[in-house]
Amino acid sequence: MDTITQLVTIAAVVLGGLTTYATNALIERTKRRDGLRTRWDERKLDTYVEYVAAVRACIYAAVLAYEVTQDLRSMPRSEHELLLDLTECERRRALAFERLMMLAAERVIEAGHAVNVATLEIDWRARGLVDGTLAEWRELHAEAFRAINAFHDEARADLGVNGLFAHRRHSDRGLILPASRSSTSADPE
CB 48 within 8 A of CB 155: yes
- The predicted pLDDT at position 5 comes to 83
Show the CA angle centred on residue 175, arms to residues 179 and 186, nearest 5°. 20
- The predicted pLDDT at position 39 comes to 63
Chain centre to alpha carbon of residue 127: 25
Per residue in 145-160, pLDDT (tens digit) is 999 999 999 999 998 8
- The predicted pLDDT at position 166 comes to 61
Enumerate residue ranges in the chain where pLDDT < 70: 1, 31, 34-39, 164-189
**CA-CA-CA-CA torsion for 64, 69, 71, 72, nearest 10 degrees?**
-30
CB 115 within 8 A of CB 93: no
- The predicted pLDDT at position 13 comes to 82
- Top-level CATH class of 40-175? mainly alpha
- The predicted pLDDT at position 38 comes to 60
- The predicted pLDDT at position 188 comes to 45
- Give the E-state strand segments of the chain in sequence order: none
b/e sequence 55-77, b meaning 16+ C-beta within 10 Å = bbbbbebbbbbbbbbeeeeeeee
Q: Read off φ and ψ for residue 85, nearest 5 degrees.
A: -60, -45
- Say how far apart CA 156 and CA 148 lie, in whole Å: 12
- Say how far apart CA 188 and CA 133 lie, in whole Å: 8
